[in-house]
Amino acid sequence: QVQLVESGGGLVQAGGSLRLSCAASGRSFDTIPMGWFRQAPGKEREFVGTIRRNGSSTYYADSVKGRFTISRDNAKNTMYLRMNSLKPEDTAVYYCAADTLGLGQYDNWGQGTQVTVSS
C-alpha cells in the first residue's frame, strides 16, 4: 500500500500554468509506476499521463500532449504534473495514482486536488 496526497491545485486564467505535486508514503516510491488522472464535473475519470519507476519515460493523453509534463523525484517520494497553456476544458479534479503491482492497473489513489481554469 502507498498513501498519496496531491497539492498545488487552484484557480488560474486560461493560458496560465500550475504545478501539481503528489507526495507518496508507505513503501519504496521508486518501485512504483505512477500516473495522473482527472475528472471534470459530469464526466468520467480521464487518463492524463504516466511515468515509469525511474522517470525515464512518460506517456500522455493526446488532449494534454505538449502542454503537460510529468516528472518525479524519487529521493523526495514525489511526482509532479506541470501544466502549461491551460484551457477552460482542463478544469477538473486531478488525481495521482500508483500502480503498486506493476500490472498497468492503478490501485492506490490520492484524494484529488481541484484545478479551475477561467476563460
Judged by DSSP in three states, 37 sits in strand
Residue 82: pLDDT band (50, 70, 90) is: very high
Predicted confidence (pLDDT) at residue 103 exceeds the cutoff of 90: no
Q: What was the pLDDT predicted at 26?
A: 86
Q: What is the CA radius of gyration of the chain?
A: 13
Rounded CA separation 111/106 (Å): 14
Rounded CA separation 20/81 (Å): 5
Rounded CA separation 7/9 (Å): 6
Residue 97: pLDDT band (50, 70, 90) is: very high
- 24-50 burial string, b = 16+ CB within 10 Å, else e? beeeebeebbbbbbbeeeeeeeebbbb
Q: What was the pLDDT predicted at 32?
A: 95
Task: State the amino acid at position 76 in one-letter form.
Answer: K
Rounded CA separation 110/119 (Å): 28
Predicted confidence (pLDDT) at residue 118 exceeds the cutoff of 90: yes
8-28 pLDDT, tens digit per residue, is: 999 999 999 999 999 999 888
- Cβ atoms of 6 and 112 closer than 8 Å: yes
